[in-house]
Amino acid sequence: MKKPIRVAVTGAAGNIGYALLFRIASGAVFGPDQPVALNLIEIEPAMKALKGVVMELDDCAFPLLTEVKATCDINEGFKDINWALLVGSVPRKAGMERADLLGINGKIFVGQGEAIARNAAEDVRVLVVGNPCNTNCLIAMHAARKIRDIPTNRWFAMTQLDEARAKAQLAQKAGTSVNKVSNLVIWGNHSPTMYADFYNAKIDGKPVTQAISDHEWLKKEFLPIVGKRGAAIIEARGLSSAASAAHAAIETVRKLVTPTVKGDWFSVGVFSEGDYNVEKGLIYSMPVRTEDGKSWSIVQGLEVNEFSREKLNITQKELMDERDLVKGML
C-alpha cells in the first residue's frame, strides 16, 4: 500500500470545504490507488459543524481515507502535510473596500504561512482558494519564507474556476460540447480583471476566432460574462459559488499531479519570474503544463497581441496595487 498523502483543508466545514472533502477522500484528486489522510481546520465556533462533517466522512467508509483529524489549532492542522488547500477566508461584505478585505484576510494568511513553514512536510505544496486568492497566496508565501525556504514553485492560486467558466461560455456560443474547447488560459488575477485569452484558445482544434465569427461578442460580452460570473451567481442563488469552486480546486490539484494532455495547458496562479513581461514577484495566472505530475513549467511562445497585452497589463496593475496595500505583511 502506498504511503498516504496528507492534505490540510482550511474552512473545512464551510460550503466549499464540504463540497471538496468527500471527493478528495474518494480518490478523485490523487487517483484510485492513492490513500489520503485529511487534516481539517476550522475556527473555534465552527468546530461543532466540523464534527458533523467528520461523522459523514466516517459514514462514507471511503477505502482510501486512512485518517481524519479535526482541529482549530493551525499548527496541529498543518502538521506533516503534503498539500495545503487554503479555502477559508473572510468574504467581502457590503460596504467593504478591497483594501479592508486584504487587511483582514492578510493577517489570517500570515499566520497560516508561518504555521505551514513550521509544521508541514518537506515536499509541501499550497493551493490558495480563499479570496483575494492571488494576493493571499503572496502573503502566505512571504510569511513562510521568513521561517523556512519553501520554494516559490510550490505556491499556487486558483484560477481554474475562471478557466472552466470561460470554456463553458465558448462551448455554448459555438454550439458544441465543452470538451471540444482547449488551450484556454486565464491571465492574471482571480477577479473581474482576469483575461480569458480567446485568441490562443481552440474549439475542436480550430482557433476560437475562426469557430466563433462574432468577434464583438468575444471582446465585449464574453470577457465581462466570465469576469463577473461569481457576482451573477450570488445574485441568482443568494450565495457564492461553492460546488463549482470546490470542483475547480480539485481540478487544479489533479492537473498539477497528472501529466498534461499533449499540446494543451491549464491555468493557475504562480510566482512570476518575468515570463510574458509580467512583473517578477507577483502571483499571476499563467498557462502551465506538467510532464510528470511532480514538476510544472510555464508554456512559452504564446502570441500576445495588442488587445491581449492591454488586458494582461490591466490585471497586472491590479495585482501590483494589491501588493502595495499589503506591503507591510510581505
Quick one: pLDDT at residue 95? Answer: 66
With residue 277 as reference, give the H or E element that holds it. Answer: none
pTM: 0.96
- Model confidence at 278: pLDDT above 70: yes
Joined together, the cell numbers standing for residue 89 give 477566508
- Model confidence at 93: pLDDT above 80: no
190 is known as an active-site residue:
yes
Contacts of 323 (CB under 8 A, 6+ apart): 135, 138, 281, 282, 330
The b-or-e profile of 243-260 (16+ CB within 10 A means b, else e) is ebbbbbbbbbbbbbbeeb
Residue 101 falls in which region: left (phi positive, over 0), alpha (psi -120 to 50) or beta: alpha
Contacts of 160 (CB under 8 A, 6+ apart): 248, 249, 251, 252, 255, 266, 267, 268
CA 213 to chain centre: 31
- Interatomic CA distance for residues 119 and 136, integer angstroms: 19
| Percentage above 90 pLDDT, the chain | 89
From 142, 190, 215, 247, the catalytic residue: 190
- Model confidence at 165: pLDDT above 80: yes
Distance separating the N- and C-terminal Cα atoms of the chain: 41
Quick one: pLDDT at residue 234? Answer: 87
